[in-house]
Amino acid sequence: MSDTSNNFGSIVNMNGGRGNTGINHGTVVHNDGTAQDTELQAAVTDLTRLLKDLRPELTPDQAQTLENALPALTPDRAALRERGVILASVSQIAATVGEVGRPVVEALGRLLALVG
């Protein structure tokens, strides 16, 4: 048995190709926007909280408009892009109440930057 090789680790032979990354031992790295999705979820959650805090400062009609907009705030980029009119109306309402609405306007800006 003098020809026997005892290999106790992984052996990789790579001949040519492109984008070879070797062996994956359980660590998977994808550049699929997962970090951005986490940011998007956080931005939607923050905006929703700020809108609920803003309600006491609004007229009944404004509060109803915000109430109707809340279901449209989902961490789905495509859906948020389609709901630009809703986001614009929320921004206008927040801007009308002045300084109290500024955090909402800023949160909307962060959300829109993530949506692209």
User: Could you report the per-residue pLDDT of 84-103, keeping only the tens digit for each?
Assistant: 888 889 999 999 999 999 99
pTM as predicted: 0.66
Residues ≥6 apart with Cβ < 8 Å to 68: none
Weakest-pLDDT range from 3-7, 52-56, 94-98: 3-7
Ordered DSSP codes for 45-58: HHHHHHHHHHGGGS
Residue-wise pLDDT tens digits, 32-50: 555 568 899 999 999 999 9
